[in-house]
Structure 1
Amino acid sequence: MTMSKSTLHTAHKMVIKLGGSTLEGLNMAFFRNFKALQDQGIQLIITHGGGPAINRELAAAGIESHTVNGLRVTNEEMIEIVQSTLIGKVNPALVHELHAAEIPAIGLNGFDNGLLESEFLDYDVYKYVGEVKKVNIGVLNTLTDAGIVPVIACIGATEEGQALNINGDTVACEIALAVGADCLLLVTDVAGVRINDEYQKEVTPSLIGQWIEEGHIYGGMIPKVQGALNCLHAGIPSVQIVNETLTGTTILSEELVK
């Protein structure tokens, strides 16, 4: 693992977001990394998406989908498939893999103990896509204090009990802020930020802004780093973009670098 010393010494709580495409290629060595973090006394919370699995279920049902501003527009028929796929298939499979790696884990979603109280983001644009209004962290703290890893599917719930599809990075950031996490790990299919064919170990928001302006950061990496910056600006000290070996780039707030 290539985590900065400052991160390892302070990350008593760490939120780890597993992207859908990354989820399907994980091996036991990946989960042993999580076990090593736990053994260092770090409390883990995992959130996950499930894009590829959802795509397969939508295709089987003959439903086409599209995105707006990076968010999957989710109509009434689709939210049922998204909900059943994430909660009924992806979540228990991930919990099983953690148990196989001797990591106690429990699957959760936004309905459980009102975990992710949500509301419609913009129904006219996105339909059944939500934003998190409140994270009820009681159950998360109870589990992590007992050494159990909460594994959270990115499904929110309105006060009326309507399921909403929520962006995975958004859920991870909201949970990290709510529990006072010291670090957020965004696990993706690349080993962080690459500039001139060289992966960067530690960067700052100002450097990222400069690299985007100069065209060194482009394409799919832009939304990833922007999501990371949003989390930093909201108050999380350290955000890492890493691959399945947990190797990648640590983005530190300017204050921690000084």
Structure 2
Amino acid sequence: MSNETNDQLVLVSGFSGTGKSASLRNIRNQERWLYNNTEAGKRLPFANKFLNKRISDPYEVLGYFDQAIENKDKLDGIITDSITFLMEMYESKYVLGSNDTQKAWGNFAQYFKELMQDKVVLWGKPTIFTAHLLDKLDTVKHEMKTEVPIKGALKNNGIEAYFSTVVSTKRVSLLELEKYGSDLLTITDEDRELGFKHVFQTRITKETTGERIRAPMGMFTREQTYIDNDCQLLLDHLTKFYAG
């Protein structure tokens, strides 16, 4: 496994219909972005020019990362939509029905680690994963946890632990958003008509302590708790932050 890091690695998590896929709409130079579609060929909710790859086997994703690594000058970024469906696909194809389920679950975890700790790092350029969320009751602490569902040994730490930046897509009322006044948030006339806006939540609030939103210290101010659900805006912010 590589010891390097990828500062442009982002996990966009959220419940269905909260704007995960739509957040990709403003990505620049889309013809230079590889889009790994793991969700049975589901179309994006906007016209795009991504290099769309319909994934039918999890190992195809590793192969596409290898191709991207070999042709870094021809690509700007890689999107995998979603990592939830990708790992469920692995379970269906290689774990269920296996003659040695213990070994199969070990391979399941190793596959994910190879993807995140080897392929993503060697790629070293903008990388976006989307993920679906699930509410789960913590019977020990008697509180609700919101996390990306994952099985096997990976469940202990959660896949969010492999990302330095995890944002959550939300639909938030304008009354709540006005409390923050983020410079990375634009309220449109359509938003005002609806009374809410689809956003990225970048920091934990007292109402969301059970979530796994995370970012390096100092990356987002309190005012930037909610920002536009725009992956290009987020990547630009990361670039500015790491440039110092």
Report the TM-score, using the length of structure 2 for normalisation: 0.35
Q: Which has the higher contact order (CA 8 A, sep 6+)?
A: 2
Report the TM-score, using the length of structure 1 for normalisation: 0.34
